[in-house]
Structure 1
């Protein structure tokens, strides 16, 4: 009889253990299911837990985590309760409760069996680890999101590449500037985006980073379409996953280079201007002596003397020399402009129409209805406009159209490198000529540079000087075979100065 009682007890204990293990196994599967969100998983645990109890149909469950509650469908509180705390890092964050809906026979922990206490403790332990993992995952997601936001919202390009140069990660700015999508970028190496002229330096730079820990250098990057642009790169080593990698922050320095070029050009023109001023001054002194002596010679000779005609020719040549000397002076110093407020649109229109009258080039003039006024030296500004109109006529010997467009343009920082922020009148002169060779674009404002057979090479350099003295600038855009556009940026007069 005792033996039968022992067998029955063992059988009952085994059945309870099997029920406990089945419940733990099923809940473990629920907790480790990757596709479910946290709240759905916790609710599923609460819904299934009564199956592990001694009387499943009479058991109900409540899980409290923070301010959230998860209850089984038949939940109701009674006096027959068993509970355990849910701990995360030894801190209580909630509790799990099991209730029987009616009084049951007394057991180990009335009316709960010992295995039900073990089951409850095991499940709260599993829930604590699960919630801790989810909190860590959520922190990691937020951290990754912050990193990704910083990574993609940076104004600079950011690259991460391995020590062989293979690109591991890039931000959106890098893709946009180079013209690739992200998937294409991750198939490239740094050799593919470096200019062919500097690609051979890539691994030397990696060695430099290794030696110094951080390395800043200038390079030239190549876009998908083959065009190139200058960049400044700051690189350092980082741990990326399980490997050492290089992170590079790359800044487009196109505008900085343009500004440096403009400053260099201004310094060169200033030096040439000083030289030209000295030459023009000495030249004028010589011309005055020559003019005086020729005039004296003509006075002492009869009107029909054979030498009169050569002396007249000499005077005409000296007039041209004087004009050239005056151009040199205008280029070098030009006299400080004596400025008054003018209607810029009317002033440009009058000069263009006068200079094109009788030619085979017609003008198309467009301007904003409310075009701002400008404070200019009328004579000097007319000289600039006339020079551009004459150049346009020369570029279209067989006729064509000169399009003049005038518009109000507020200039912000770095919009045009050499201009201070403010309101400007943008005046563009577009011809239909053969355009300017690329190799000549950087030289056309240099003194004495000309492609014309009889040009002095001072027209555009003088225009450059005049515009600079008006705190504006002159720019050029041109492609061979597509004509040229010269653009003047002229500061608008203060509204208080308008008449």
Structure 2
């Protein structure tokens, strides 16, 4: 059969007998399959010992034959004598009962009473379906109806005892004459142990089948791994070779075969490098002679086209089962491109150093600007101190002026009254400068509330005396809402509006609009005034403090506005054209950031950044 299988024929599993060393005959079930075993055709053979199963089957057959003979004999005796029949069935260890053709128990033996746990009277009031756990009443009726007259019917089922225990049984059923009437005799044998043996046999068969499948899977997995390893080594973009202890090339991958055709079997140093001795710094030599576990080094040479080339050589030992080094595996990787990139990186590094020097010079320039800003901050701090110190003498002058005005007005002439009014205006102007100084130097603390541009604009206009020749157009959106410090924003609006009025001495129009763009609120103030030159606009955008083009004032207006807006996280944009007017756009977030205190971002206009 093995020869037939090798010829491609399909052979089903079959049984064989063998004699062991003790001279005993044992039976086996033989299963075989043709396989490819490392390039050679072979048979994998599985022998399963079925001696016990054969012996059990033989005994079962003998037992069945004896039982059949015994039953036939007993039935014959029963027919001859019911008294002997009762004596016989009560001596049997198997459960025996007689069933009428209408499906009722009409007699049971002592073993049935003992095994099932019911009394004889209880059983005689029952029917087979009451104790059968596998067959329905309908199935039992069909068995009774179709009972053959000339042979014993054998089948398996499950009996349920009074306490709920399940017992697998094999029932031998046949027709008989009982008390002059046709009935059915059932003999039930407990086959629990046989079922256990069969279950073990089935489990053993499944285990053998599983082992066979595992063997097949392992064989397939080994083949896949071998194919994968071969694919990796053959297609890797680097040279891979195995060198023996006498420096002979045992194997190379496709990469090296293409570079060095026919190199296998030759000496490595003469084949690869055209030398008569082992290469300097040879990693393979270090593995063989020094026992290193890994060697990595670079090798430079000139290519066929005259260009410089570099390879990285990595060698590692190959050991046998006893741990002896029998060969070396060497990997050669072309690193020419890497080396060229390193050279370029060096050039870039030198350029970077040059850029760093240039950046250092720029930082020095920025430091000079910072020093200038610190000086401006000191000026702002000094201005705050002066503002506080000037308020006291101004208060005295204001009181003295009021006294002179109330006591001596009737005695003063027109010139005297004019002088008093001049003093009062000077006091008011000086007080405004002091307020600007104090407001410019103090910290900003914001108290956010819900506001809208229209309400802010109206409150700002209520504090300003707008000349009749100037028309204010309110085009803001009353439904537009955002979070801001109402008083601070009103102050910023007031200063922007006042600047617009001052820029229109001959009259004009101030139009205020608002809109929401990408989560931000934009409020634009467009006047038709004199506009600003590029130089003036540059100084304003640059945040130059204390800068003004007016005859009166110290240039605090726009810086204070910028501080307020930037403290809200916003910004001010100024666009101006000479003789055409100016547009001041205030942009702030609709929702403020989580801050306890707003701060202006321009360090040239905020002394705290320099302090």
Q: TM-score normalised to the size of structure 1?
A: 0.42
Structure with bigger RCO (C-alpha 8 Å, 6+ apart) = 1
TM (norm. structure 2) is 0.36
User: Highest CA radius of gyration, 1 or 2?
Assistant: 2
